[in-house]
Amino acid sequence: MSARGPAVDRLLPLDGLPALDVPAAEVLRARELTARHGMQWEREVDLADPVITRVERFAAERDRPAVADGARVLSYAELAARARRLATLLENEGVEPGTVVGVGGPRSADVIAAFLAIELIGALYVPADETWPAGRVRDVLDQAGASVLIAAEDAGALAEGAAEAGCRIVPFAAADGLDPWPGEPRLDSLDRPRYVLFTSGSTGRPKGAVVEHQGMVNHLWAKIIDLEMTDADVVAFTAPLGFDISIWQMLAPLLLGGRLDVVGDEVAHDPVAFARAVDEQGMTIVELVPTMVRHLLDDLSPESLQSGGTPPQPPRRPPLGSLRWMIATGEELPAELSRRWLEAMPHARLLNAYGPTECSDDVTHHTVTAGDLRLLRLPIGTPVVNARLYVLREEDDGSWAACDVGETGELFVGGVVVGRGYLGNHERTREAFYRDPFGESPTGRLYRTGDAVRLLPAGAGGEDRPTLQYLGRVDRQVKIAGVRMELGEIEAVLQRHPSVAAAAVVVHEYPAG
């Protein structure tokens, strides 16, 4: 079993991270190129306020609906009161500042209140998705060192996995009738670990990426800034709890006094039902993987609706008429799919988002335009606020050099967005995190993404400044007859054909003769 106790005790300290071999001249050059090409965007945003503080402020100033989950609608005051009762419950269960608390079950208002409760008492949130098998739940809770899993009454595999991990399971309903927790939110420093999200590990065991308070809140504001969000926006909460985008979906609207609508899997996986929910609830911002965007366009096409897909009560305006933004993430966004979206939904802008869980979610955004469609692969864009991006190539001697416009290299991320590493896994942390050789990261850390990118010149795809183009994983580069090739580039060419929805390219070696 993993050790219980403060998570920070199981994180690799900064001086334990390896140094990245970047010669002094290349350090200066990388700084200059990052600044000149707009691969950094510094802006002061309020990172000090916990989300619960703003929720309670809105509750006091102008109480209004905060979250709807099908079963109920909670106002800001009701959400804050629910969070404080859950905080009392957790403290009664022995949860202390810095310890990890599991939260499980389907997406719901209670999950959001539980996150806020964990924030109140200074603990760390780790989600356990209801669709996971018991073994996955056990691995996540065990590695996280969670002593408590708070979940819905009918926990199913969650309860089995929690028991195997030696983790007590406590129902949300146990908070009913408790007195609200009376204290102030515990935030002693901006680098306090805030949540742990487990990503797939190459060894078969998941690894827990730890994100700090400052990185999480910075990303919430990045979404607010780039999407021009206001308190009139309604965000769809569609992501599974184990998916990093679930964090911003359930928290960003709360920083503004906006609303989020929880979309259950039954609706989220049915394109026509989902479109109906968007229209009925007036959702303005939706985030989906490109595969689901494709299904949505397929099922909402005039041909599909005429053949039997028409909702019983057709909306007065076109489907998704309330939508301002569609965000595509989690998979590469094909140019052909983007063309279809721009033609079918001209009222809703399309955002291509890219980022690793280890860096507080997205580190680049790109608003797709018609000009992008002439490119072989769409840009992933420019940095979100307070992120620093470096495109570096490894030399034959193992040192690293900075790449200029038109050159291909590996993407490294610095800035406030960089997380703390993998919980209790110092070896994997050393493989991906470095001490920042550029000396400009508030965290002192630099993250190696393992992704190959190219810096496109200003004007490419309609951008007025250089932008990044994703080329695939660096470990998917191959040499054929001495020529280095990107398998992702070949896949992109194949996917441009209207009859090809998806493509995968692999290399097979055959013996000579």
Determine contact, residues 413/447, Cβ cutoff 8 Å. yes
Tens-digit pLDDT profile for residues 474-493: 875 543 433 345 565 576 55
pLDDT of residue 355: 96
pLDDT of residue 327: 98
> What is the rounded distance in angstroms from the CA atom of residue 132 to the CA atom of residue 138?
10
pLDDT of residue 447: 98
pLDDT of residue 461: 63
> Half-sphere exposure of 229 toward its Cβ, with a 13 Å CA cutoff?
29
* Phi-psi group of 156: left, alpha or beta (phi > 0 → left; psi -120 to 50 → alpha; rest → beta): left
Tens-digit pLDDT profile for residues 347-373: 999 999 999 999 999 999 999 999 999
Question: Tokens representing 455?
Answer: 């810096």
Taking the CB of residue 306, how many other CB atoms lie within 10 A of it? 9
pLDDT of residue 254: 98
pLDDT of residue 490: 74
Taking the CB of residue 222, how many other CB atoms lie within 10 A of it? 29
Question: Tokens representing 68?
Answer: 């709807």
Structural domains in the chain? 50-186 (3.40.50.980)
* Phi-psi group of 285: left, alpha or beta (phi > 0 → left; psi -120 to 50 → alpha; rest → beta): beta
The low-confidence residues of the chain, meaning pLDDT below 50, are 1, 312, 314-316, 478-484, 510-513
Instruction: For residue 138, give every residue at least 6 positions away whose Cβ sits within 8 Å of its Cβ, in sequence order, or none.
Output: 161, 162, 164, 165
**Which residue from 274, 202, 210 is spatially nearest to 238, judged by alpha carbons?**
274
Determine contact, residues 8/417, Cβ cutoff 8 Å. no
> What is the rounded distance in angstroms from the CA atom of residue 53 to the CA atom of residue 70?
26
Instruction: For residue 59, give every residue at least 6 positions away whose Cβ sits within 8 Å of its Cβ, in sequence order, or none.
Output: 75, 76, 77, 79, 80
> What is the rounded distance in angstroms from the CA atom of residue 114 to the CA atom of residue 105?
11
* Cross-strand pairs, 124: 100
Taking the CB of residue 441, how many other CB atoms lie within 10 A of it? 20
